[in-house]
A and B are shown apart, each in its own frame.
Chain A
Amino acid sequence: MMNLTSPPGTVEMDDHALIACAQQGDRQAFTELVTRHQDSIVSLTYRMCGDFRLAEDAAQEAFVRVWQNLHSYKPQYAFRSWLYRIATNAALDSLRRDRPTTDLDSLSLADPGKTPEQVAEENLRIGHVRRAIAQLSEPLRMVLILREYQELSYQEIADVLYIPVGTVMSRLNSARTLLRQELLVLLEEA
């Protein structure tokens, strides 16, 4: 069994080593991969679904699909792009199958360091932002989420969504323009 802990900066290399083990059926190596990428994948699916229950379900489904398709993964491809593509599809499938049941604004944002007024104000602001994002069309929303929240490069986004880099840039510009119009009041306050 390989050493599953890795020094900073060698994550991608170790991912490939873990994948190689997982491809041989090593479930512990696969569990390490899941643990390592859980945060980013749940974050991605949460941004796409807007519902934590759906997001976790989609993230788990994404990892199951990764396991089922490990044999088709080739090390010359970036694992993160491959994983994000699978997670994006899982989130979209989840959304199509099961619409969010939780109101976007109802998620708890309580912070013990803030007064109730501050929390209420923040809830209002974040609710406004979520509504604005939810109003974007699916292609624009996906590019925006991958860039702003997941901080993927244009090329990585293009790889995840199978679109040209030029399309990534134009969609991102459109999404930001629409958001700026929608969130003008909040931006002026800032």
Chain B
Amino acid sequence: MNIHVSELLAAYHDGELPSNRQHQVEGHLQDCSTCRAELELYVELSSLLKADVVPYQTPPQRFAAQVQLRLPRTLPSRISQKEGKPPRWALGIPLVLILVWAFLQAAIKVTSLILTADQFFGVAIFNSWISTEGFLETSANLFLFNTLVLVGTTIFWSAWMALWLAWQKNQNVLSIKGGVT
């Protein structure tokens, strides 16, 4: 006697076994009354469940008409809401640029204050670790970089807004086309 194939019977009953396994189960079932009885339970359970039929169906034309009534007047755009949203990086880059710009602004202000204090009071506050010339040079570089960041951010935002407006316009055109049938 082969070992029982209980664990394969459900898949066998559902027609989900590969052919080699199916032959194996069929061969076993010919000799094993226990597995045959178990398979019979699957069959009977299916029959019992399927005896419960859906009692009534709305006529197809009426059902379809009811669905039509619930449909929005226009076909949704091919661009889904998710696709319509700007990608995260597109928002992240200007944000980083603005933060860098703000940081540089603060650095320049602090540098200016220190230099002013140094010159006004005649006290070389930080001369022990950096020279006034060094401060001036750094300050000039920071100012240049600051300006570049500001210009870059402005260009990026302008380009982004133009792209966004063009996108929205295209989306509206698609929606209108979808509604005309």
Contacts and interface: CB of A to CB of B under 8 A. Distances in A.
A56 B55 CA distance: 12
Interface in A94-125: 107-109, 122, 125
Interface stretch (A3-11, A78-86, A173-181): A173-181
A109 B55 contact: yes
Given A25-B179, A187-B45, A38 B76 contact: no
Interface residues of A, number: 51
A52 B46 CA distance: 22
Contacts of A61: 70
**Contact size class for B?**
35 or more
A137 B151 CA distance: 61
Nearest to A63: B67
Given A64-B70, A126-B51, A27 B16 contact: no
Contact of A126 (B47, B52, B76): B52
A185 to B, nearest CB: 11
Given A25-B177, A27-B68, A129-B49, A187 B41 contact: yes
B46 A148 contact: yes
A183 interface: yes
Interface in A22-52: 23-27, 30-31, 34-35, 38-39, 42-43, 46, 52
A43 B54 contact: yes
Contacts, number: 113
A67 B66 CA distance: 14
B180 A68 contact: no
A125 B51 contact: yes
Interface stretch (B57-65, B117-125, B157-165): B57-65
A34 B71 CA distance: 12
Contacts of A107: 55
Summarize A's interface: helix, strand, loop or mixed: helix
Given A34-B67, A60-B67, A71 B76 contact: yes
Contacts of A24: 178
B111 interface: no
Given A27-B68, A169-B10, A169-B11, A38 B60 contact: yes
Interface in B51-107: 51-52, 54-58, 60-61, 63-64, 66-68, 70-72, 75-80
14 contacts: A25-B181, A31-B68, A38-B57, A38-B64, A60-B63, A61-B70, A68-B72, A71-B80, A129-B49, A173-B10, A176-B45, A179-B49, A187-B41, A190-B48
Interface of B: 10-11, 14, 16, 41-42, 44-52, 54-58, 60-61, 63-64, 66-68, 70-72, 75-80, 177-181
Query: Which A-B residue pairs are the 9 nearest by beta carbons?
Result: A71-B78, A25-B178, A25-B75, A35-B60, A63-B67, A126-B52, A34-B64, A25-B181, A31-B64
Given A42-B58, A56-B63, A190-B47, 6 more contacts: A25-B179, A27-B181, A60-B70, A64-B70, A71-B78, A71-B80
Interface of A: 23-27, 30-31, 34-35, 38-39, 42-43, 46, 52, 56, 59-61, 63-64, 67-72, 107-109, 122, 125-126, 129-130, 133, 147-149, 153-154, 169, 172-173, 176, 179-180, 183, 186-187, 190
